[in-house]
Amino acid sequence: MQIIVNGLILGSVYALIALGYTMVYGIIKLINFAHGDVYMMGAFMGYYLINSLHLNFFIALILSMAGCALLGMAIEFLAYRPLRKSTKVAALITAIGVSFLLENVMIYFVGSASRQFPSAIKVTKYGFAGITITNVQLMILVTAVILMVLLQLIVKKTKMGKAMRAVSVEADAARLMGINVDRTISFTFALGSALAGAAGVLIGLYYGSIDPLMGMAPGLKAFVAAVLGGIGIIPGAALGGIVIGLLETVAQSLPGKLSWVAGYKDAVVYAVLIIILLIRPAGILGKNVKEKV
């Protein structure tokens, strides 16, 4: 049960990052490999807001989300929008280039060394039925669930959410119906980047350490989570994130002669991804769609 609880907490953070990947892919069929570095930028925004301006953690979380939303919109406007009618390879290479740009800009300004994230919340441990959980872990889990529910409400219940769904089905038809496609795509980037920024602040508080390269591995695992759940499907990204978090935690916690697996926890995640995609190529919640030629 302790392993499951830890896996759910880690998986909820992966889910927040994976949602950004899956929304962008669902709208413009682009794998935004810079998304993991937006997560890193969110962690640093939270760090400076708490450490330098001495803001309350939740205010810093909201401001970091807003900052990452603006960053996501700027990346879409400057890097991806001019290439919207180019080849998929050009957009993919640009995404990788933006990722390296963000990483190296942060290394130039703050250095490559790890920094200790401020302990904005005093840690309190709770015990129940042999399970130990801290108030920080509970807060991360609750915050992640609230953000995912809000995202689902935005997509399903708001006018902009309807526009997002329309653009994801057919952008040209949506444009003919009076939907501002550029604004809808920009909003999608803002929404996904805000969730990644929240994940960065939460994981900074959880692990207590941040650095400019911290977005690479979680970003890749979140992409794996999005593919695993069914890329382009919002509930699939959330489910994939939880599954990846549980797999990683289980791999780290195997006892006795299997303890060596902890050193290969990333390989376990990717191996399970391959197995599931061999069985269900569209992902856990994805549907196989036949394309007319």
- Total-model pTM: 0.90
Own/partner contacts of 128-136, CB < 8 Å, gap of 24 or more, are 129/1, 130/1, 130/2, 131/1, 131/2, 131/5, 132/2, 133/5, 136/205, 136/206
Neighbours of 46 (CB within 10 A): 31
Mean pLDDT of the region 17-21: 90
Mean pLDDT of the region 255-282: 82
Residue 231: pLDDT band with limits 50, 70, 90: confident
Residue 26: pLDDT band with limits 50, 70, 90: confident
Tell me the sheet residues that pair with 131: 128
Residue 267's alpha-carbon distances to 137, 197, 244, 272, in angstroms, are: 26, 26, 12, 9
Neighbours of 275 (CB within 10 A): 10
Residue 267: pLDDT band with limits 50, 70, 90: confident
54 torsion bin: left (phi>0), alpha (psi -120 to 50), beta (else): left
Query: Residue 128: which residues within 8 A CB-CB, separation 6 or more?
Result: none
Q: Are 238 and 248 in contact (CB under 8 A)?
A: no
Q: Is the pLDDT of residue 290 over 70?
A: no
pLDDT at residue number 100:
94
CA geometry: angle 28, 29, 33, nearest 5 deg = 100
